[in-house]
Amino acid sequence: MLVKQAACVGGGVIGGGWIARLVLNGVNVAVFDPDPEAERKISEVMANAERAFAKLTLAPRPPKGQWRLASSIAEAVDGAELIIESVPERLELKHQVYREIEAAATPDALIASSTSGYKPSDLQQGATHPGRILVAHPFNPVYLLPLVEIIGGPNAAASAIEHAMTLYADLGMKPLNVRQEIDAFIADRFLEAVWREALWLIKDGVATTEEIDDAIRYGFGLRWAQMGLFDTYRVAGGEAGMKHFFAQFGPCLSLPWTKLMDVPELTDELVDSIASQSDAQSGRYSIRELEHIRDDNLVAIIQALRGNDWGAGATLKAYEEQLYTRAHAAQTQTPTAQEDLSKPLLALETSVQPDWVDYNNHMTESRYLQVFGDCSDALFRRLGIDASYHARGLSYYTVETHIMHVDEVAGLEPIYATTQLLSADEKRIHVFHRIHHGRDHRLLASAEQMLLHVDTKAQKACPADPPILAALEPIKTAHAELPKPEAAGRHVGERK
């Protein structure tokens, strides 16, 4: 993890989203927000984020960071490596905030603004160290949507841009470096164009808010979500590609279809019309209910894209690879002399997440399998099996699993899991996993698994690489001295 301590100045919708993304990635965050309701609002955003994040990925998450309210900007930024500014869009206010930040921050702290309205050169005016101030423009909800536009402007240090690109990728995001300073950056320019056209359609009585939203969510919005603009039109051009698309549809650009250069006056009548239509469209839902609906839909879309290793799903997949790597970073390819191999390996420590439980508040069957799968992944990491190994088309596949449920465990209770190596050869690994309660250590469940090493490209079993087999050997030797688990080799329904 590149950042351990961060500060957020401003904890509203965007600031709260940043706090959530940081905390869920194990970063401690100090927050300054003068709003007397800040603690309640941020807590509600955190609850939404934890709910959504638990659905987004099953990868092992780092221990959550802590967030706290600070009484001043100086207190919040003290010792922070990353400082995120998300205050209202008033330039004089932002300049005042930066003066207070720079007076108390460490010299190498990165200062990132969430602004969507000001260029970096606007923000850097009067700064003591303008090279470390940049824009990191996110999209709501910040804890789910991966895009963050990084804009440094002419005064930003190249090292600050490079650091920001790495840092935000480490938080599971897709940093987009906007190389040329421009108003509204890249994404918001598209949003502004669509927004202006939508206002005209309502003002002219052509469409309602719901009809416009339907046109987007049932039509081109689905295409944009997975392919963007130019790839969508490339496909629309058929086999001849983009040139054919321009030949066919290019002449339409000269037609007076759009009013993008004009903005309708936001009269009271137009505002009231939009507000009443919006109330009719979705007023039956509370804002929190709409947030839950939005988050669940976004998770489903991103998960679908992950299955195809595409777009935001590819970003999630890369982020999960980071999570697995971090979770097992302490496990080296060759066990250290200090490591006690005379007992089952500690595979993971966690707690039963709120969305892991059924109507009885007990951990569901699918989550037991997930935890046992994480145990196998932990063993693979220990052996040196990583993304580069998988990229070569080599992996272990689970060919058989037998789970025994022994006791119940409720939501939020701590658990840990161990792995005992029963046998191994050049192609097979035979393991026995156990899940225990984190406080009283009682056995909750066990799983016996047979794993087969395969060449995924050839779709057949093959020997593991010599370094993998070498890493297995000391574990195999030590665990041969352990008693065989009583449940090992049992068949379903066998009497205890």
Cα(306)–Cα(322) distance, rounded to whole angstroms? 15
Q: Express each pLDDT in 337-376 by its tens digit.
A: 456 788 999 998 888 887 788 888 999 999 999 999 989 9
More confident residue, 54 or 190: 190
Rounded to an integer, what distance in angstroms lies between the CA atom of residue 131 and that of residue 108?
10
The mean of the pLDDT values for the chain is 90
- Between the CA atoms of 183, 184, 185 and 188, what dihedral angle is there, to the nearest 10 degrees? -160
Least confident of 241-255, 363-377, 447-461: 241-255
Could you tell me the two tokens for 116? 């969507």
Residue with tokens 């005016």: 125
Check whether 158 has a pLDDT greater than 80.
yes
- Percent of the chain surpassing pLDDT 90: 64
* pLDDT band at residue 264 under the 50/70/90 scheme: confident
With a cut of 90, say whether residue 145 has pLDDT above it: yes
pLDDT in tens, 18-42: 999 999 999 999 999 999 999 999 9
CA angle 192, 193, 194 (to 5 degrees): 95
Per the model's pLDDT, the better-predicted residue between 238 and 80 turns out to be: 80
Q: For residue 449, what pLDDT band results from cuts at 50, 70 and 90?
A: very high
Q: What is the mean pLDDT of residues 385-401?
A: 90
pLDDT class of 154 with cuts at 50, 70, 90: confident
Average of pLDDT values for 241-256?
75
The reported pLDDT for the residue numbered 337 is 44
Structure tokens at 17: 């989203």
Q: Are 322 and 328 in contact (CB under 8 A)?
A: no
pLDDT over 70 at 1, yes or no? no
Contact 372, 402 (CB under 8 A): no
Angle between helices 365-383 and 311-327 (to 10 degrees): 70
Q: Which two tokens stand for residue 30?
A: 């100090």
Query: Residue 403: in which H helix or E strand, if any?
Result: strand 394-405
Q: Is the pTM of this model over 0.75?
A: yes
Q: Is 459 exposed, middle or buried (0-12, 13-18, 19+ CB in 10 A)?
A: exposed
Any long-range contacts for 194-203 (C-beta under 8 Å, 24+ apart)? 196/259, 196/260, 196/262, 196/263, 196/264, 197/258, 197/259, 197/260, 199/263, 199/264, 199/266, 199/270, 199/274, 200/259, 200/262, 200/264, 202/270, 202/273, 202/274, 202/277, 203/264, 203/270
Residue 328 binned pLDDT confidence (cut-offs 50, 70, 90): low
For residue 183, what are its two tokens?
A: 């108003």
Instruction: Catalogue all structural domains in the chain, each as residue range(s) with its CATH number.
Output: 5-177 (3.40.50.720), 188-284 (1.10.1040.10), 328-479 (3.10.129.10)
In percent, the amount of the chain with pLDDT more than 70 equals 96
Say yes or no to pLDDT of 280 above 70: yes
**Mean pLDDT, residues 412-429 taken together:** 94
Distance of CA 119 to the CA centre of its chain: 27
**CA 21, CA 172: separation in Å to the nearest integer?**
9
